[in-house]
Structure 1
Amino acid sequence: MPKQPAFPGLRDAMKKKQTRRELFLSEMNVVVPWGRLLGLIEPHYPKTGRKGGRPAMPLETMLRVYFLQNWYALSDPMAEETLYDSEAMRRFAGIELGDDRIPDETTILNFRHLLEQKGLTEAIFADVNAHLADKGITLRSGTLVDVSRRTPSVRVSLRKIIDAPSSTKNKEKTRDPEMSSIKKGNDWYFGMKAHVGVDSRNGLVHSLETTTARVHDSQVWDGLLHGDETSVWADKGYVNAERAAEFAGPGKFWGVMRKAPVGGELHPLDDRINRLIAKVRAKVEHPFRVIKRQFGHVGTRYRGLAKNRAQLFTLFALGNLFMVRRKLVA
């Protein structure tokens, strides 16, 4: 005779171990600035559902489901199914099975489109960074812990290629026309680029630009600097005499990898400098590791630059919170 199922809440209360998913969601529940993000989106969110249809889902529920999508690389249909399967995710979203409606894939899709069309993911990114600055976590030049000894700087990372599907086995029978191919080393890649400016002290992303893969990295340089840098750190693609001259004064440092002269070899001193620069620049890999390994974002999910750009702003905002979650919890 099968056992009588226990009530979900009672079964959860009797658990002896907290899973990694539950631990992660409990931490993120604490560190996400829900109040200011909900206030940001609320003016754009419909107060009621479609005419003659069901009432609109609660805004906080939809925002929490949207973040779950990004943390676990879920499509719209899979996000709906996972909410039915996972008690931990329902609890995080504030949904009680049997008492509350679970948003269907169309509702989830419409919410994502709202954020994309209103430019709200860029606003979420900016608001999260403002929240971190308010909390006293060093970000850009706004909240320096010790101005007399620490100077604002930026580390620039480019050439972060995000792969897009190159197959033509789709409804349009074509590859994404807004993506492009680029050769890196001996390999060809098809997709887009995410260009980020990262704070050199804590590894948090403070600026983001997206382009098709064939756009040269140096073309977005100005968009990645916040203007108060006393040092910059970048690879050889940014070697530029005029830009270097701007950082030639006292108290400034041009941390761009040195290049060997044409047909010659790199000077031993420049080689030592490059090794030092590389150690500093290593921190720029941390945000990409988070969104690729922790959040599972290894390639574009949508067609077109605009939708993928919108998602990247959300991913890096959540990535910043993830990297400093223990400081915020403490």
Structure 2
Amino acid sequence: MLQPGFFDLKDRYNKLNERDPLVSLNALIDWENFRATLNEVRQNPRKSQAGRKPFDVVLMFKVLVLQHLYNLSDDETEYQIRDRYSFCRFLNLTPEDRIPDAKTIWLYREQLVLRDLMKGLFNDFDDQLNDKGYKAQKGQMVDASFVDVPKQRNKREENQQIKSGEIPERFENNPNVGRQKDTDARWTKKNEETHFGYKNHVTVDNAHKLIRDYKVTSAEVHDSQVFIEILAENTSADVWADSAYQSENNEISLAAMNMRSHVHKKGKKNKPLSERSKKANTRRSKVRARVEHVFGSITNEQGGLYSRVIGFARNQLKIGMMNIVYNMRRFMTLSRKSVPAI
């Protein structure tokens, strides 16, 4: 049986170039820029030089990017790297190279969780975006979206204990049960819809529709509670948000920060909005609605605002990866638009 030669592989890669978005992703992003932050997972020196060397930290980070681009589990990621030439090339691996298995991927992600590195990696990429000419401009839009997790089937008294910050006795006495219970996620209700999980609070710049900062909370935290905290640097002082963010304290805080509020007004029980306020809200909506495109893109292109991992720390990483991968995809789109026609 004939073995594939170098030129056979090169010819196959050339054919892939026509439709493979990973080629652009590899070319546009400076992956080495993440190394300083990622090296923290290798802080503890190896006890022995025996055995296989660990995989490169940047390669493993790119594996996580692939997972979130294509909404893959650890086992499916291992299989797809073995199966796809495009994945191997993105990771700079040949079909003969050793590849990370599902357990290795899980352990690497746990190291990122343990050292709380996700926000640092997000900021590393934001610095890249600024250096490439995509500074935050024309104001910012703030919004939040639920990230649902598998619903828990607990007893009523157990839910009450979890809500008060206690761990139910059944979870502690049976580790197999406890490991499957997310005691950090919370229930909440909005517009007759019930959600269980977390919230992804983001601020998006109006010029490029890139996420500039974010914060993860449990689902019951009201949008307005982290409004001021996630506001990012921008060349414009304009801030857009829906009526959930409307409060006297937020307006005072925005004024103190020399920011211009375009937060939607909301009527009160005995004081409905005037026609002038309604028209002003309509004008604000034309800008503010752009932030919905971000969550729509994550839902449609990255598998949705849903998570199967358990616990706040792991979901903080999961949601952070959703956000950084969205920015990478958006960066590719912006780069294509900025290329002059020949």
TM-score (norm 1): 0.84
CA spacing shift, 1:227–1:216, aligned 2, 3 Å = same
Q: Which amino acid aligns with 2:113?
A: E
CA spacing shift, 1:233–1:82, aligned 2, 3 Å = same
How do 1:233-248 and structure 2 match up within 5 A?
233-245=240-252
Indicate which of 293, 298, 301 corresponds to 1:286.
Answer: 293
Indicate which of 52, 57, 61 corresponds to 1:63.
Answer: 61
> Alpha-carbon deviation of 1:164?
0.7
Q: Which amino acid aligns with 1:35?
A: E
Indicate which of 253, 260, 266 corresponds to 1:253.
Answer: 260
Indicate which of 302, 305, 319 corresponds to 1:312.
Answer: 319
CA spacing shift, 1:15–1:214, aligned 2, 3 Å = closer
Is 1:162 equivalent to 2:153 in the alignment? no
Q: Which amino acid aligns with 1:212?
A: S
SS of match in other structure, 1:10? helix
CA spacing shift, 1:7–1:113, aligned 2, 3 Å = same
Provide the alpha-carbon RMSD of the alignment: 2.9
8 Å CA contact retained: 1:49, 1:55: no
SS of match in other structure, 1:177? coil
- Please give the alpha-carbon distance, in whole angstroms, between the structure 2 residues aligned to 1:36 and 1:79: 24
Is 1:34 equivalent to 2:31 in the alignment? yes
- Please give the alpha-carbon distance, in whole angstroms, between the structure 2 residues aligned to 1:14 and 1:34: 24
Q: Aligned pair count?
A: 313
Structure 2 stretches of 5 or more lacking a match?
A: 155-174
- Please give the alpha-carbon distance, in whole angstroms, between the structure 2 residues aligned to 1:105 and 1:49: 22
Residue 147 of structure 1 aligns with which residue?
A: none
- Please give the alpha-carbon distance, in whole angstroms, between the structure 2 residues aligned to 1:220 and 1:167: 26
SS of match in other structure, 1:156? strand
- Please give the alpha-carbon distance, in whole angstroms, between the structure 1 residues aligned to 2:328 and 2:57: 21
Alpha-carbon displacement from aligned partner over 1:90-113 (angstroms, at most 9, x marks no partner): 111111122x10111121112111
Residue 77 of structure 1 aligns with which residue?
A: 75
CA spacing shift, 1:83–1:196, aligned 2, 3 Å = same
How do 1:1-330 and structure 2 match up within 5 A?
6-7=4-5, 10=8, 13=11, 17-18=15-16, 23-45=20-42, 51=48, 52-98=50-96, 100-139=97-136, 153-158=139-144, 160-168=145-153, 171-172=176-177, 175-226=181-232, 230-245=237-252, 253-328=260-335, 330=339
Structure 1 stretches of 5 or more lacking a match?
A: 145-149
> Alpha-carbon deviation of 1:238?
1.6
CA spacing shift, 1:62–1:227, aligned 2, 3 Å = closer
- Please give the alpha-carbon distance, in whole angstroms, between the structure 1 residues aligned to 2:328 and 2:207: 15
Q: Which moved more, 1:109-118 or 1:56-65?
A: 56-65
Q: Which amino acid aligns with 2:315?
A: N
State percent identity of aligned pairs. Answer: 26
> Alpha-carbon deviation of 1:264?
4.3
Residue 162 of structure 2 aligns with which residue?
A: none
Q: Which amino acid aligns with 2:280?
A: I
TM-score (norm 2): 0.81
8 Å CA contact retained: 1:48, 1:56: no
